[in-house]
Amino acid sequence: MVARHDLATDPGLQEDLLQARRGTAFFARKLNELTDAELYGGTLLQGWTRRHVVAHVGYNARAIARLVEWAATGVETPMYPSPEARNHEINFGATLSPIALRNLFDHSAVHLSVEWRDLPDANWAHEVRTAQGRTVPASETVWMRTREVWIHAVDLDNGATFNDIPAPVLQRLLTDITGAWKTRGTDTGLLIQVTDTAGNGASLTFGDTSTTNPTIISGPLSAVVEWATGRGTKDIDAAGPAVKNGVASAPAWI
């Protein structure tokens, strides 16, 4: 018999699943606020219309569901056959009719949620491989989806901002991004200072803490993450040798 509730019992994983589903609901709300005609409008992502974003988010749910199925069955089911296949899928999806795009998002989100729900407790530790080639436990698929839905809800560019993203998601995003920079060595001389984590007054520091004369990027958590993801520089202060005309661009994340 199919489960009617999540089989996962770990409290941390249950909280992560809740955050992913909240992000999905938020994306759905921003999508539903758009008329069919507005789906042809631009986004915060260069070269992508809202149709591209919706197609990507829909197909991303299907791709992540394949990883969950891999964890459930032990049969290798990659996210995508190739990067080219992924790009082709998104470009094809952007040509779908508005009702088909909306159905793609709705149905793929439900499918992924059910795959998570029915995954046995022990299988969450089973290893799968991401599209970037990383080997991760199936539990990582929840975070993979969480960051997609929250960030791309903002990318739709119809009112959502990084201030709408929960502080725990923002902080984990920033940890991921600065960790990727460090791995690639692209954070050399770059110090990131979060002056206020969503209003609680805490201070966080990321990046190259060993440089004597760093370029310092500072601001509230939501603004710093917006900058780090390449989405804008509002409420960001910058100082240091790399700052000439305005705020320096963030290194590439993904």
User: Is residue 1 predicted with pLDDT exceeding 50?
Assistant: no
Number of domains in the chain: 2
For residue 183, what are the domain limits? 167-239
Tokens of 89: 């899928």
Which of 144, 180, 146, 181 lies closest to 166, judged by CA? 146
Tokens of 100: 């088909």
Burial 145-159 (b: 16+ CB within 10 A, else e): bbbbbbbbbbbbbee
Mean pLDDT of 154-181: 95
Domain check: are 151 and 171 in the same one? no
Phi then psi for 207, rounded to 5 degrees? Answer: 95, -155
pLDDT digit string, tens, across residues 33-57: 999 999 999 999 999 999 999 999 9
Domain check: are 84 and 100 in the same one? yes
pLDDT digit string, tens, across residues 200-223: 555 778 877 777 788 888 899 999
Domain check: are 127 and 178 in the same one? no
Q: Which of 12-26, 72-86, 128-142, 199-213 has the lowest mean pLDDT?
A: 199-213
Q: Which of 160, 190, 209 is the last residue of a domain?
A: 160
